Structure formats: C-alpha cells, structure tokens
Amino acid sequence: MAAAAPQRPLFTALGAGLFALFWGLPRRLGYALTKEGLEVRRFSGTFLWPYAELRAQRTGGTLGLKHFGTGVSGYYTGLCGWSGPEADTVQALASRTRGGVLIEARGKRYFLTPADPESFLAALSGRGVPVA
C-alpha cells in the first residue's frame, strides 16, 4: 500500500535530512594542536583544552558498550565502557573503536583517534603534555 500523497514529501524530507546528518557526522570530528591547546571539533561544536590541563597515554584498549551518546559507524561520542586497564569508562570523541590515545583533561578520560597516534603523542609531548 502506497503512502498517501501528502505524506510522501514528509517522508522524503525526513529521509533526506537523515542522510545529510549521517553523511556529515564523520567529517565533523577533528583534532588540532593550536598555540593555546588541543582543539576538538565535533558535530555539536568545538572546544579547547589548554596543554597545561592535559595528560596523554598510549593504549591498546577498545571502546565497549555505549552508555550514552552517539555510536554510528565513523562517529563515536559520549560515555562508553572501556576494555583496557586504564579505566572502566571513557568519554569517546572518536572515529573508530580502537587504535587511539587516551587524554585526561579536567579529571575525565577521553578516547581520541587521530590519524597517526604516535605522531600525535609526540606533538603533544613537544608542547609539554606528559605522555605515558
């Protein structure tokens, strides 16, 4: 049974809106090292952590069960379980579930997935961030 004629434009608009949202999400996540600190850009906005407030570490852990947030392929944000020994939960700001770094800022642990984690950690270390 076909949808009534007045409903077709509504469903088309909803479908197009969802497509645009999911198409744009992965591209909205990014990290930049500025003069002031680590800048994290995500779909809902951009924020900056001063280098003096950060600690970083390598990790082999992976994101686990999502407790709250977004978990679409290529865009993981929010509170998630953590499989590594470093923590039980982390705040995800990632494009994948493994192969990233942990950043501690303001008493919370964040999982980030830069393109080259080793270079990212080296650059943070060069800016005075303790790296474990």
91-122 pLDDT tens trace: 999 988 999 999 999 899 999 999 999 999 99
CA distance 92 to 94: 6
pLDDT tens profile 46-74: 889 999 999 999 998 888 888 877 666 67
pTM, rounded to two decimals: 0.77
Residues 56, 101 contacting (CB under 8 angstroms) = yes
Give percent helix, percent strand, percent coil of the chain, each to the nearest 5.
25, 45, 30
